[in-house]
């Protein structure tokens, strides 16, 4: 299994606007990205399709690893962001499973 990696700095994310700005840059979300978790899920739900919602296009068995560096700092300042991130990654992977595909996302808290 091949893994591609994207990194977010938890110490630089103190609120939702900072989280979405960091994700827009890290994932290459389109200009019309809605800056909410519904849009985040939508953008990452088709990583194996050529839809242009991120700068990533995964192969069949490839996984995008999302590394949150300084996760303890994010947990201290905005624990709801990490909770929602974990929930949404699980939901996206469930969506892939519903289509008979392997999970496409992995989360690493560093």
| Global confidence as pTM | 0.93
Alpha carbon distance 27, 66 (integer Å): 10
Domain that holds residue 97: 3-109
Model confidence over 19-67: pLDDT tens digits? Answer: 999 999 999 999 999 999 999 999 999 899 988 999 999 998 899 999 9
Model confidence over 7-28: pLDDT tens digits? Answer: 999 999 999 999 999 999 999 9
The 3 state secondary structure assigned to 88-104 is HHHHHHHHHHHCCCCCC
How many structural domains compose the chain? Answer: 1
Alpha carbon distance 3, 71 (integer Å): 20
CATH of the domain at 89: 3.30.370.10
């Amino acid at each position: 299994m091949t893994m591609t990696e994207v990194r977010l700095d938890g110490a630089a994310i103190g609120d939702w606007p900072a989280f979405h700005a960091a994700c827009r840059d890290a994932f290459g979300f389109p200009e019309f990205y809605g800056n909410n978790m519904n849009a985040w899920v939508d953008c990452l739900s088709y990583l194996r399709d050529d839809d242009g919602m991120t700068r990533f296009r995964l192969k069949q068995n490839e996984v995008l690893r999302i590394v949150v560096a300084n996760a303890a700092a994010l947990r201290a300042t905005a624990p709801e962001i990490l909770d929602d991130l974990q929930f949404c990654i699980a939901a996206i992977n469930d969506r892939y499973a519903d289509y008979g595909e392997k999970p496409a996302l992995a989360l690493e808290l560093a």
